[in-house]
Amino acid sequence: MSDLIDRYLAAIARELPERDRADITAELRDELMSQIESREEALGRPLEPRELEAELTGFGNPLVVAGRYRKVQHLIGPQMFPFWWAAMRATLTVIVVVYLVLIVLGLIFGGGDLAGLDAPEPMLVLASAFGAVTGVCALIERYGNPAKVARWRPERLPPARGKARSRFELLTEVGMGAVFLLWWTGVIHFRNFAPEIGLRIEMAPVWARYYWWILGYAVIEIASNLVALVRPDRAQLVRWMVIWRSLFGAAVLLGVIQAGRFLIVTGPAGKAQAIFDLWVRVGIGVTIVVFLARAATEAWRLRQYDQGVGAAA
């Protein structure tokens, strides 16, 4: 009988901090022995092995019994959980958008093969992001002050009226911006040739001339979306950022469109050079119009807001 009790208490002891191990197991041994003796007294005989097993089973799984003495009972508590969940949703949305864009681009340029894009495995990225967000929240839970994270200021609430972009929309734009940035800076590559039809496409020198301007635009776009996400109360600031970034984008593309050639098409399909350039020119033209329309819309909304504020005052 005592062998089974010793084994049970040893299993609990293994899970306890060394400092308290002897003390806790001595107390648990006394409780267990008192329970068994009381039971034996009631039955008028010693416990049979299966009855002793039932007693120990009722006392609890050694891991659970020892776990109750642990100071930390959870990785992320109820105060921290909403922030963990919000951070996780935002991170996973960006990753999913990035990979969806990569898959679509892969289908177009890489024959549907993500391996051709030099991008890390999606599952690895998802698992790393899950681990990183959980790890940071757990560290705040353990060593930081979750109550401090929950502090907020009512004046930072987004305006109740006016059309605000949803968090999903903003995260999607951040994700797409990230893909563009990764491609533009050469971190990821897309296949630029189609051997089956002997087609190879290179960027014309005009893009290299505007490399830093376009990089700057992409960074500003991501930054303004992040500001809109983190500080939804600064709707007016974000509108100004969108206006200036759209005008900046239109100005850069107005410079690019002056060039005669946007792509260098080589191979037997090189005869299609003029058609490719025409389509890119049309694309750039449409983008400039979109930029200007966006700037005008945001300027109109700013004006509406100012008039609304004036009328309210």
Partner 1 sequence: MPNDADIFETLRQELRRGSLIMAVLGQLRAEHYGYTLRKALADAGVEIDEGALYPMLRRLEAQGLLASEWRLEERRNKRFYRLSAEGEAVLARLVEEWTGLNASVDAILGKPS
Summarize as ranges the residues that interact with partner 1 (CB under 8 A).
20, 24, 26-28, 30-31, 33-35, 59-60, 64-65, 68-69
Q: Which is nearer to partner 1, 35 or 185 (CB)?
A: 35
Q: At closest approach, how far in Å is the CB of 59 from partner 1? A: 7
At what angle are helices 81-109 and 167-184 packed, to 10 degrees?
50
Distance CA 210, CA 213 (A): 5
**Would you say 16 or 179 has its CB closer to partner 1?**
16
Closest separation between CB of residue 31 and partner 1, Å? 5
CA geometry: angle 128, 129, 132, nearest 5 deg: 85
Residue with Cβ nearer partner 1 (1 or 86): 1
d(CA 61, CA 59): 7
Q: Which is nearer to partner 1, 32 or 80 (CB)?
A: 32
Could you tell me the smallest distance in angstroms from the CB atom of residue 53 to partner 1?
Answer: 17
Q: φ and ψ at 311, to 5 degrees?
A: -65, -40
Q: How far is the CB of 2 from partner 1 (least distance, A)?
A: 13
* DSSP string for residues in 18-71: HHHHHHHHHHHHHHHHHHHHHHHHHHTSPPPHHHHHHHHHHH--HHHHHHTT-S
DSSP notation for 104-129: HHHHHHSTT-GGGGTPPPHHHHHHHH
C-beta closer to partner 1: residue 69 or 130: 69
CB of 8 to partner 1, least distance (A): 13
> Which is closer to partner 1, CB of 36 or CB of 102?
36
Kindly state the smallest distance separating residue 67's Cβ from partner 1, in Å: 9
Rg of the chain over Cα atoms, rounded to whole angstroms, equals 32
Yes or no: say if 210 and 255 are a contact pair by the CB < 8 Å rule: yes
